[in-house]
Structure 1
Amino acid sequence: MKKLKSVMFVGTGSDVGKSIVNTGFCRILKQDGYSPAPFKAQNMSLNSYATPEGFEIGRAQAVQAEACGIDCHTDMNPVLLKPTNDKSSQVVLNGKPVGTQSAVEYFTGNNKKALFEEAKNAFNRLNEKYNPIVLEGAGSISELNLKSRDITNMRMATEVDAVTYLIADIDKGGVFASTYGSIALLDEKEKDQIKGILINKFRGDIKLFEEGKKIIEDLTGKPVIGVLPYFRDIHIEEEDSVSLENKSSSSLDGNINCAVILLPRMANFTDFNVLEHDPRVNLFYTNNIKEIESADIVIIPGSKNTISDLNEIKKNGVAQAIIRAHKIGKKVIGICGGYQMMGQSISDPDGIEGNISEISGLGLLPVKTTITDEKLTEQCTFKFKNHKDECSGYEIHMGQTVANENSLNSLSNGKQDGYLLNENCWGSYIHGILDNSVVINDLLSGFDIDADRNFNYSEFKEEQYDKLANVIRNSVDMELFYKHLSRE
């Protein structure tokens, strides 16, 4: 296939659909015979993923790599910021943590020049192997107070000469002002880099927006290459947890009610996407005590600051609700930080997570955890309980948990993972453990449900990528898109 120019999707603001659009075009380019790869210079997210080499990147880029049909790599997200609290983030560079910085230190310090060089090097390595690179911006392209230190948006676009499209969310309102203002605040070189505009989340008959398209084109001097519809029937992993609180409340529809504890610093909530789409399950995120006690299954998720979140749920009564649910025979499981919380104690002798050196756990599992400064990031294969099927997942955690017996999983590298108390109570460090059919069917066993409603999550995800690609194809001027990307 001929070599295409790189393409980049930037936004008028946060949560306008950059990640989803990027994912859709990754799948389109793959379908059309190219070999695309995703790239985001800097990502801020508590959702991360382990690469095959044992490094850490943002989960969104791992999803986009999956849409491309390739393994993920740290070059796809060289800089990852993982918030530890409201003011500080762990900085992950090329897949490994290099320290924790406050927002002031990170954005006003002199390290952005070095990080930008790292980002350029990562892009160049990808660009040698894939065609084309599909870049994603972050937040708004016109944050003037941060622009001189930005390494993600227009600075990257102009550096690599990417065909750049501005995405605006019409459902938020103010689409004319946001598109016009975003472009007007750019310098001339950056304006020239913008080749078109994508309007996202349009409700109703798109034909009714023909006049709106012309107004935007006249205002900005840029073509509107497509108007994407607002859809609810395509399910791609979300990058941010902002919408989790809307996925709340139990149901009386006969499905299994599964409550995921809504932690303040929840990490890797994508562990539960499979449950969200399994037709046997009603999944909801909650810190409501009555909902927790009435759920059929209670899951304690991972956390970027396990001790602080454990301390919080002790104060608000959620911890006691989890213990009561366990005592009355409800299924209670924990993943990663949630597994640590289920033990007898968590100690932090070096103050890695804060000023609490030790805290008692929920006491559901006879294990003890010590927080360490060494971060384990690796993909793994394992056998769950006594099942013969080989499962896969990944570990990302700081801490060692001592369990002398009753391990849950046997890893292919000879290690043991987790603790199995009984059929209703276990914990594991493995993210993605529920994506395995043998695990999910085991978890949902014992309930009065239709056994023929088993759910294949891998097939489901592939169907969603293809559905997304079809919607974009039908809504975008693909001839103009490929004309922009052509080097001729």
Structure 2
Amino acid sequence: MSNISNDIQSVENLKPIMFVGTASDVGKSIITTGFCRIFKQDGYLPAPFKAQNMSLNSFVTPDGLEIGRAQAVQAEAAGVECHTDMNPVLLKPTTDKSSQVVLLGKAVGNMSAKDYFKPAGREQLFSEVKNAFHRLAGKYNPVVMEGAGSISELNLKSRDITNMRMAKEAGAATYLVTDIERGGIFASLYGTIALLDDEERQLIKGIIINKFRGDISLFDEGKKKIEELCGVPVIGILPYFKDIIIEEEDSVALKQKMTSPVNGKVNIAVILLNRLSNFTDFNRLENDSRVNLFYSNNADEISKADIIILPGTKNTIEDTIAIRNSGVAEAIQNAHRLGKTIIGICGGYQMLGQSIADPYHIESTISKTAGLGLLPVNTILQAEKTTRQSSFKFQHLEDECIGYEIHMGETVAAEASPLNFLSDGQTDGYLLNERCWGTYMHGILDNEIVINYLLTPYTNIQQEIINYTEFKDQQYDKLAALFREHIDMNYVYQSLKY
């Protein structure tokens, strides 16, 4: 595919662009990320937007508000600070039937799906969503929008605040994304477009086929048939890739990370909790050549790890009970007695303590449960959520570290033994010893000094210092280069002209 021509001017005002899907997890998020970087490279000032996101991966904006992690990543690719207008509605599942609703960065309570989809409430939410979009559109050029799931769920279309209704509101040039690895793309593409109404169909400017394996030229006939069936061009066929590291949005990706311990590496087991949140905390560790990091809820596999990490969770009490019933808690306690390293982050920190109480039933109908008893701390879940970005010193070590907090609990120790010393004078976490500690600080393992502290007892091999910010920046550039090679960017820019 051709690159953008040199005569495109960065001062040109562009229409919003939107990426929608034939289904969930077809690649909308990563395509939005790549286009944010392309527009930045071409001299524009883009910003991402997803009206409603359902995810347990979240992030904190500079002003201490919460959004989906994917939109924070997309903002990073665009080179702008993240803001709640980029993801005005965030749903964080607490059970199979209910979610915490975060509106414009603040938790407004838990709702069942039935209550959430009531017509009156949906119209109020859509009003908030539209206002957020128009605020962004007044500051950024272009707004790079992302849909959710499939755009042709007929039972949900009348209550849609995320997909084609939002595309119509924005007047967005809309591109339909599908995943060829799943198979059946002719039916899914044709069916998706056939189920749109005429006004929606006119917004679809093209199709992007994602995750193609093999020689793309062999799909020339298939491309022509899709264009004949759907009445719009296939503007890009993106190859399957593994060499570009971009944070995943969905926990679907964890299925590929449920590997096993291996010889010759520091084996790190992340406990696969039912409501695991912010698994992006471990991306930096995954890319360390000294490490084999795997997710598991198997007690035997976990017992073979050198380091065990209890991650964040959206339902601490019920996940604590679940790992106790499965034998995972006992495996962690045995590993601690054997001198292996056990750490907890956010909900995992709470689980390592003596008790977790939920007197106001913030996350669960269960009022209290015992923790694993490794740290002498007790947690009470609070109605008010703590969300903030922080800079801190890890155990008084010299380097400045950064991280962010998202939690609804207050954890208290009988005798203070803080792990982190924040720049504002506050402290965080509990240090039992070098092989057992807990923290509320998401992103703590993105800091090189913490990584080396964690791994030093297990390896004499010194990892080359990685500036993780620079590393991520390089990945966004690689993603943009791949897209420019395989997507007709001239066509895209033509579709964005007023």
AA partner of residue 162 (structure 1): A
Distance 2:12 2:129 in 1: 25
**1: CA distance between counterparts of 2:263 and 2:474?**
26
Partner of 2:379, secondary structure, is strand
Q: Report the equivalent of 1:116.
A: 126
Q: CA deviation at 1:109?
A: 4.2
The aligned amino acid for 1:257 is N
Which structure 2 residues correspond to residues 238-277 of structure 1 after superposition, within 5 A?
238-277=248-287
Matched, 1:201 2:225: no
Is 1:130–2:143 an aligned residue pair? no
Q: Distance in 2 between matches of 1:293 and 1:452?
A: 25
Q: Measure how far apart 1:294 and its partner are.
A: 1.2
Q: Is 1:450–2:461 an aligned residue pair? A: yes
Aligned runs of 1:36-435 on 2, under 5 Å?
A: 36-403=46-413, 404-435=415-446
Please state how far the C-alpha of 1:28 moved relative to its aligned partner. Answer: 0.6
Partner residue in 1 for 2:19: 9
Cα shift at 1:390: 1.0
Question: Contact 1:168/1:175 (CA < 8 Å) preserved in 2?
Answer: yes
The ranges of structure 1 where at least 4 consecutive aligned residues each deviate by more than 6 angstroms after the TM superposition are: none
Q: Is the 8 A contact 2:57 2:277 kept in 1?
A: yes
Q: Residue 246 of structure 1: CA displacement? A: 2.6
Root mean square deviation, CA, Å = 1.0
Letter of the structure 2 residue corresponding to residue 416 of structure 1: T
CA distance in 2 between partners of 1:31 and 1:454 (Å): 27
2:450 is matched with 439
Q: Which moved more, 1:459-468 or 1:428-437?
A: 459-468
Q: How far apart in 2 are the matches of 1:49 and 1:414?
A: 23
How far residue 454 of structure 1 moved from its aligned partner, in angstroms, is: 3.7
d(CA) in 2 for partners of 1:463, 1:345: 43
Q: What displacement does 1:452 show? A: 4.1
Residue deviations 1:208-259, cap 9 Å, x none? 1111111111111101111111111111111111221331233434111000
Matched-pair contact (CA < 8 Å) for 2:261–2:304:
no
User: Is the Cα contact below 8 Å between 1:259 and 1:285 reproduced in 2?
Assistant: yes
Rounded Cα–Cα distance in structure 2 between residues aligned with 1:412 and 1:237: 28
**Separation in 2, partners of 1:444, 1:174:** 45
Instruction: Give 3-state SS (helix, strand or coil) of 2:425's partner.
Output: coil
Matched, 1:461 2:472: yes
- Contact between 1:49 and 1:62, CA under 8 Å: does it hold in 2? yes
TM norm structure 1 = 0.98
SS of corresponding position for 2:26? coil
TM-score, structure 2 length as denominator? 0.96
Residue 378 to residue 452, structure 1, CA distance change in 2 (3 Å): closer
Matching residue's letter, 2:50: K
Q: Deviations over 1:458-484 (max 9, x none)?
A: 222111111111111000111111111
CA distance in 1, matches of 2:118, 2:463: 57
Equivalent-residue separation in structure 2 for 1:306 and 1:263 (angstroms):
9
% identical aligned pairs: 66
Separation in structure 2 between the aligned mates of residue 247 and residue 280 of structure 1, nearest angstrom:
16
Q: Deviations over 1:248-280 (max 9, x none)?
A: 233434111000000000011110111111111
> Corresponding residue for 1:35?
45
Q: Give the conservation status (yes or no) of the 8 Å contact 2:54–2:91.
A: yes
Deviation at 1:399, TM superposition (A): 0.8
Query: 1:224 and 1:351 mapped to 2: Cα distance?
Result: 50
Deviation, 1:107, is: 1.4
AA aligned to 2:376 is: P
Is the CA contact 1:279–1:455 (under 8 Å) kept in the aligned structure 2?
A: no
Contact 2:289 2:463 in 1 (8 A): no
1:72 partner letter: C
Shifted more, 353-362 versus 247-256: the winner is: 247-256
Counterparts of 2:255 and 2:231, CA distance in 1 = 40
- The amino acid of 2:181's aligned partner reads D
Per the alignment, residue 7 of structure 2 pairs with none
**Which deviates the most, 302-311 or 247-256?**
247-256
Distance 1:269 1:27, change over 3 A: same
Which letter does structure 1 place at the counterpart of 2:292?
Answer: N
Write the letter of the residue equivalent to 1:276: E
Q: Which runs of 5+ in 1 are unaligned?
A: none
Task: Look up the SS of the partner of 1:43 in the other structure.
Answer: strand
- Over residues 151-194 of structure 1, what are the superposed CA-to-partner deviations in whole Å (9 max), with x where a residue is unaligned? 00000001110000000111100111111110000000000000
The C-alpha deviation readout for 1:124-176, integer Å capped at 9, x for no partner, is 11111111000000000000000000100000001110000000111100111
1:277 partner amino acid: N
Q: 1:245, 1:286 within 8 Å by CA — same for their partners in 2? A: no
Residue 453 of structure 2 aligns to a residue in which SS?
helix
Distance 1:429 1:197, change over 3 A: same
Query: Number of residue pairs matched?
Result: 487
Partners of 1:225 and 1:308 in 2: CA distance: 46
CA offsets per residue over residues 1-43 of structure 1, 9 Å max, x none?
Answer: 1111110000000010000100001011111111100000000
**How far apart in 2 are the matches of 1:443 and 1:250?**
20
Work out the CA distance in 1 between the residues paired with 2:411 and 2:97: 28
